[in-house]
Structure 1
Amino acid sequence: MPETPPRRRAPAMDPDRRRAMIVAAALPLVVEYGSAVTTAKIARAAGIGEGTIFRVFPDKEALLAACLAEALNPDDTVAHLASIPLDQPLAARLTEAAELLRGRMERMGAVIVALAGPGGPAGRPPRPTPPAGTPPPDREAAMAESVTALAALFEPDAARLRLPPERLAATFHLLLMTAGRTGATTTLTTDQIVDLFLHGALA
């Protein structure tokens, strides 16, 4: 009977990729369970042993802080904004951008609310803090990156704009944030927001 060749182990994943994979698996669980989520649940979702989490994160608080940092990280959104074709009409560019930004704000808000809420029977847990030596997420810098990427979408029409692209981008971003704020009395569709921004309130 021929011998069965030994199974080859999958190549080890470097720590940065392992951290990113664990955070990606953890994020939807954080939204569902908040700070009460267990590392056992996260490990099952990631398809790894629970001990593997603690090879790249010193404790659960560090993992939750990484989830919060990832929710606030604008890199993926900025890359998608940069990929929007500039040969489309301005309204189409802004509609696509608004869908991206509103989606990011919803995901970011869901994580922030989940981590700020009750963590189980023991009551409200402390907000997760990054490990010593790790700077906290910079929300202002993240917003500035999104606004800069948004301004590039106004540039092809700069000659017919009433204000510089940077100011319009900042105002449009603020409008999106206000329209998507939890508890807003009126919910506008993305098309309505873009139309209102470009053409004003008068019919």
Structure 2
Amino acid sequence: MTDTALESLYAYPPDRTWVTANFVSSVDGAVSVDGRSAGLGSPADKKIFTLGRELADVVLVGAGTVLIEGYRPSARLPIAVVTARGTLTPDLPLFTGSAVPPIVITCAAAGLPPLPADVIVAGEDEVDLAQAVSELAARGLHRINLEGGPRLFGSMIADGLVDALNLTISPLLAVGDSSRIAHGPVVPPVDLELTSVLRADDVLLLRYQRRNSRSTTQP
């Protein structure tokens, strides 16, 4: 496919707030090899990962993923980090030399140190994710690219906040004790429809959308 066709296929719908999750998984469901997702990567997966950022207004990610994957600032769009604990420190690579200030979404009980970021307090003891999405939308950040990790993804699903999933299936059997792509409270299964399938050698690039997705128009 041409880059233009690929952008059209993966484009966010206009005039609404929309959360698209991006994950890579082995055939047997692992989300990491030796603790990191890079072991599952491929040029095709990297292209879709990069495209997800190019099309989005903001990256949404959990603090654990930021620490494990060594997140660094983006040159174009803000990275919004969700944390309910005081695990973030101002010396992390994400906060140093950033042209676009990061966003930290936390709760009142987290006890974070002062950070060079736009800090959003959403909730008292836990992060209110619906409020977090609303706060991002209020800043004009309607196209939300959720990059992980599994616990944040699971919580977003439980709160009914995920509209679509881009899932890369890596042609590996990873076995081990790696987590699945979503981990969290038990909720009724969410019905998805398959919107596209691409193949790059032995890698599958799948796109799913929630069958009865939210229809939140922009203010």
Q: TM-score, normalised by structure 2?
A: 0.22
Kindly indicate which of the two structures has a greater share of residues assigned to helix.
1
TM-score by length of 1: 0.23
> Higher Cα Rg: structure 1 or 2?
1
